[in-house]
Every structure is written in C-alpha cells, then in structure tokens.
Structure 1
C-alpha cells in the first residue's frame, strides 16, 4: 500500500497545489480531503475538498466522478465499454455513469486538439 503524506493548507498567496500541476496525475477526493497522486513519489493528502481546487486547475484537468479529477495529459487509454480511463501510472479511474457522455466528448476533443 502506498504511503500518504499529509500537508496542511498553505497561505492564500502561495501555490495551492503541493506539486506542479503537470506532475499531478489524479486528484482523489474524500469528504473534506483531497489526495494528490503525482507522476512520481508519494501521494499528499490535503485538508481541502476537490471543489476547492477544481476552479484553480488548468484546462487539461477534468472531473470524471464525484471523487476524481484527472490530468488529461496522463491518460494512457480509454475503455468505453467499462467507462474506465487508464492513467499512465497504472491507476484505473471509472467514470460516473451520468458524466460519461460529457467525458467521452471532452476526451475526443482533447485528443484532436493535442494532435493538431
């Protein structure tokens, strides 16, 4: 099992993220806590909900479930029949049934935009 470090909230004038955003693969919410899962190293748990960070993220982040925000730059593959997204660090994120149509469209647009 992966170890998780806990970080206290930083003052408002500092960067709200414990890692550079390009290094964040998945953000996992649980109540009033958010776990940041980076590309390398240990996860960090903060005492703020996902909603706090959602509006501060760049466009390459997408909320795919009540408890998950993913970095589209780290998507390895998508399995529509399972409504699952495989991240390049091995995490498998299941997309909520209600969000799937929107997520599928946004993933297609993101792939087209990043290839062009």
Structure 2
C-alpha cells in the first residue's frame, strides 16, 4: 500500500539517515516529499525549504531533534497525517501529546528498519 510520506529534516548529505530514508522510500515505491534546511534533490525528490502545504500526507517521518521540531508543530498538524514516526534521537513527549490530542498516531521507531522488515 502506498503511503505518501513527508521526510521532515531532509538532507542531501549521504551520511544522514534522512538521505537514506528518502532513497529507501523511493526504492519501495512510496511517494515522498521532503522539507529541509537546504534546497537539493535526492533520488528525484526535491527538498523544499519552506513549510509547503502538501496534501494527502499519510506519514511524517521526523529527522529533527526535539528543539528544532517546535517550529513545525502547527505545520505537522495542518497536514493531518495519519501517523508521525519519531526516528532515534527525535523522541519528544510534548509533541506526542499534541499529536494524540489531534487523533494522530505516533510511532517511536526507525523508518529504515520498518521498511527493511516490511512493517512500514
């Protein structure tokens, strides 16, 4: 099943997990959009630098530390995703609570592992 995913905290640096996530999502035929600090392109996905009002987002996968996430709280809520994946290092109880209050599922997991094990 295809799940349009926003990679939030995207990077064109091959050493970054967000870079690997974009590539793996594309390889798994998942539609991907990305927002990061610098404009770039990864696996044919353009990294936007603004909070673009994407539509039909199923999943937001986070690659931002909790302090950096704050400026994106309203943005994430405005997208009405079904779930938000908190990758290692992004755990944020404050955002968990906000998401739950808005009926958005949270998963504290690794997108790369989920894809590799068929749990995505």
If the length of structure 2 is used for normalisation, what is the TM-score? 0.29
**Which structure would you say has the larger Rg?**
1
Instruction: Tell me which of the two structures has the higher relative contact order, counting C-alpha pairs closer than 8 angstroms and 6 or more residues apart.
Output: 2
Q: Which has the higher helix share?
A: 2
